[in-house]
Structure 1
Amino acid sequence: MIQLIKMAFRDLGRNRRRSFFSALAVGLALALLLLFASFIQGEMGMAIDTAIRLQSGHLQVRAKSYDESKTSLKWEDLVENPDQVATQIAALAPVKVATPRLFATGFVTVRNESAGARIYGIDPLSEANAPYREGLVSGDFLTPDDREGMLIGKPLAEKLGLKVGDSISLSVNTSNGDVDEQPFTIRGIYSTKTNGFDSAIVFLPLAKAQAFTQAGNHASTVFVLLKDSSQTDAVVAALQNPNYQVLTWAKMNELIVQYEDLANSYMVFFYLIVLGISATVIINTLIMSVFERTREIGILAAIGMKGRRIMALFLAESTLLAIGGIILGLILGGLVVAYFTKYGFFIGNFGVTGILLNDTIYTELTLTDTVNLTIATFVVTLLAGLYPSIVAARMEPVEALRAEK
């Protein structure tokens, strides 16, 4: 075996340029696979994290008849005594925080311009609202007893030419079906760096939102964050109640789950293409080596080297190319992934309809992906060397010796 490896090293060294570029092709393929896998992992991880933090939570508890698509404010569709319900949920050990939220739809109007908006009535003191508080770019955050203040997203503020302290009119459909309009003052402008969210959501203190929409002591949902998402099913089981529906983040973000499945399918297709190109380079390299060394192969066969040993020699060359390429790929891929893990891909407003994405995607490479892709690259490179090895092993010694030098 050691002798075969030495011979394989010597043979690859005969045309170092070709051998290097063959190993480089393997390395670039692996680096590209690592980058693509880390991008998809980062994108999907960010989409799920953003949806949970900003919109859905790990769980939501709603009235049995509540239909989110209609944003109903009828009392029978809302959670009654939401603070009491939230307190009971928060008492469960796996629960990090539970807080009521009231949803409504309406229009914000300033001067002659208006824009549709989704209103979130929130408890400003709740830990669940930390992403909005931390995203404050100017002004102050809301307070529970504020009856005139509003928090507005930066894209919407820029669209309407608003700044902190400006007055704005907000109109909503109330619980009895009437339209009410009231003036508000911009207390603060926030940015979560998620344009789809920031351009559509305005915040009011829960008490003011309830009074404005005539919702009484009701809320659309109780928003729940868990200490560990793996406890989701256990908490769902504990919250079963005939009067409520308990929705998990996966149920509320079915589009993300479907998109993740689709992305995984595309990843497999992409992997096959990249590895196929890499395998073609290896096959071409070794086939050229076989025909260049036809006479040498004939001499080896004539002095007694068995076909399977000749085959093993070329497989050893394929193995060395695979190892060299993998080392290059791990170095190149690791450096590129490390860069984008720190600085990210800036995508701006580009995204997927219905999925909240930040303006920058940070790559995330897992050990599982690294190991699996490394093994796949190694195996494909070895398989690519199989055909040239068989061609070399099946050469007739007499015909090989007649080949021109």
Structure 2
Amino acid sequence: MFFKLAWLNIFKHSKRSLVVFFAVLIAVGVLTLISGVLSGLTATFLDSILPTAGHIEIKAAGSDNAVNPQDLKYLLPHANKLLAQIQDPRVLIKEKILSFPALVVQPVPVDSKADAKNLGMMGQGVSPSTAFYSNIRQGITQGSFLPQGEGILLSESAAKLLGVKYGGSVMVLTTDRDNNPWYQELKITGLYRSGSDLTDDSLFFVSTATAESLLDAQGMTREIRLVLKNPADSYAVRQSLLSEFPPQHYEIDVWQETFGSLLTILKLLDVVSAIIRIFFIIVATSVIANSILMSIFERMREHGTLRAIGLKRRQLLAMLLAEGGLLGALGALCGLIFGASAVAILAKVGVDVGSATEYLGFASRIYPVLKVTDIVANGAAGIVIALASTFYAARVAAKKSVIDALTYL
């Protein structure tokens, strides 16, 4: 009965009902959109950064606090032997990465009067079949990731700055372990676009063999990266590795420590999200409470008549709450549809948040993600907003005596 009366009252007082409906719709829609963007940030970190950097890094002792952590004295010898020592079943992927600073130079003819263009970049010596850098592999625009032989993979932006093209060549100038300058001319076997200006402007890729040859570091590596089946096992796996990699010779970093500042940022984003949600809930509740209160004042005599013919206070309260609940449910449903549609569109085109976020470890373009938990929470928030606002106004009406309600002007 209460829901039937509530449904009739919604259409009877359509103007006030529309105000409540749109207030809930906008609140839920905005909350859903905000949730999608913040979830997209978290997904970028978990799905892009972690698989690229790994869950555990094994490096030479002292490299973390070194003035120049890229110094070649921090290379690990016998890399393949070290890889073979890692037998923990919780490890999914294990690879050696030989990174090194280098100057990438545009080759120019000897008789040319033009100055050679050059870029200071960081080389990544990896296996052509590496499981890391999936974003680079997926971003190949010309050629292939890496050949089995000599070759170099550059970003499109770096190639443009150097004035070189796919199929051409560049000079890679670096220093070997004896601090002697050394260079190789390498054919550009591929170009990529990662979606991150910071990555594109700073990283180039060569095979492990090429990197070892450039640095005169045969069988050596900068670090060993591990990807775990369960990232939460990182501390336990590190503890099990200490017997094979003692602290006096090795440093074992887990992702929670490596990306500690980013995790703090993500936690702060959760706090910001909660504050924004509370703000929208308060604003929406105020708007809805005011609208429902005005509607109840306009219908005070009607309520007095219902009370006079036998409707009890709690029944009047239940009827008004049913009315608010219906409006809240309808508004929340439409708000979820509106917010989810906006998130779906932005998930395809992305949200450009600027290059500043790249220095925090995030990509410059975020792709919102909608979680089931966010849908449920935002939908429930819309209904709670309507019910809380209605309860306040309904109590005002229920407290009135029959005489006061009938004589209310």
Instruction: Please report the TM-score for the alignment, with normalisation by the length of structure 1.
Output: 0.88
Aligned partner of 2:122 in structure 1 is: 118
SS across alignment from 1:184: strand
Q: Kindly, what percent of the aligned residue pairs are identical?
A: 25
Aligned partner of 2:408 in structure 1 is: 403
Is 1:153 aligned with 2:155? Answer: yes
Q: Is the 8 A contact 2:125 2:208 kept in 1?
A: yes
Q: CA offset at residue 130 of structure 1?
A: 4.8
Is 1:336 aligned with 2:342? Answer: yes
Q: Any stretches of 5+ residues in structure 2 without a counterpart? A: 107-114
SS across alignment from 1:67: coil
Q: Is the 8 A contact 2:349 2:367 kept in 1?
A: yes
Q: Is the 8 A contact 1:144 1:206 kept in 2?
A: no
**In the aligned structure 2, how far is the partner of 1:216 from the partner of 1:104?**
14
How many equivalent pairs are there? 396
Q: CA offset at residue 66 of structure 1?
A: 1.8
- Aligned pair in 2 of structure 1 residues 165, 325: CA closer, same or farther (>3 Å)? same
* Correspondence list, 1:308-323, <5 A: 308-323=314-329
Q: Is the 8 A contact 1:104 1:173 kept in 2?
A: no
Q: CA offset at residue 163 of structure 1?
A: 0.8
**In the aligned structure 2, how far is the partner of 1:374 from the partner of 1:134?**
36
Is 1:345 aligned with 2:347? Answer: no
* Correspondence list, 1:62-141, <5 A: 62-67=59-64, 70-75=68-73, 77-89=74-86, 91-110=87-106, 111-128=115-132, 130-141=134-145
Aligned partner of 2:291 in structure 1 is: 285
Q: CA offset at residue 121 of structure 1?
A: 1.4
Once the two structures are superposed, residues 243-273 of structure 1 have per-residue CA deviations (whole angstroms, 9 ceiling, x without a partner) of: 3222222222223212211111110111112
Aligned partner of 2:24 in structure 1 is: 26
SS across alignment from 2:132: helix
SS across alignment from 2:6: helix
SS across alignment from 1:289: helix
Q: Is the 8 A contact 1:102 1:219 kept in 2?
A: yes
**In the aligned structure 2, how far is the partner of 1:192 from the partner of 1:264?**
27
**In the aligned structure 2, how far is the partner of 1:315 from the partner of 1:80?**
73
- Aligned pair in 2 of structure 1 residues 403, 128: CA closer, same or farther (>3 Å)? closer
Q: 1:248 aligns with which of 250, 254, 260?
A: 254
- Larger mean CA deviation between 272-281 and 164-173 belongs to 164-173
Q: CA offset at residue 152 of structure 1?
A: 1.0
Q: CA offset at residue 234 of structure 1?
A: 3.8
Q: Which amino acid aligns with 2:33?
A: L
SS across alignment from 1:325: helix
Q: Is the 8 A contact 1:71 1:103 kept in 2?
A: no
- Aligned pair in 2 of structure 1 residues 133, 49: CA closer, same or farther (>3 Å)? same
**In the aligned structure 1, how far is the partner of 2:370 from the partner of 2:35?**
7
Aligned partner of 1:7 in structure 2 is: 5
Aligned partner of 1:164 in structure 2 is: 166
**In the aligned structure 1, how far is the partner of 2:357 from the partner of 2:406?**
63
Q: Is the 8 A contact 2:357 2:363 kept in 1?
A: no
- Aligned pair in 2 of structure 1 residues 324, 127: CA closer, same or farther (>3 Å)? closer
Aligned partner of 1:368 in structure 2 is: 373
Once the two structures are superposed, residues 153-172 of structure 1 have per-residue CA deviations (whole angstroms, 9 ceiling, x without a partner) of: 12211222221233323333
Q: Which amino acid aligns with 2:331?
A: G
- Aligned pair in 2 of structure 1 residues 280, 163: CA closer, same or farther (>3 Å)? same
Q: Any stretches of 5+ residues in structure 1 without a counterpart? A: none
Q: CA offset at residue 179 of structure 1?
A: 4.6
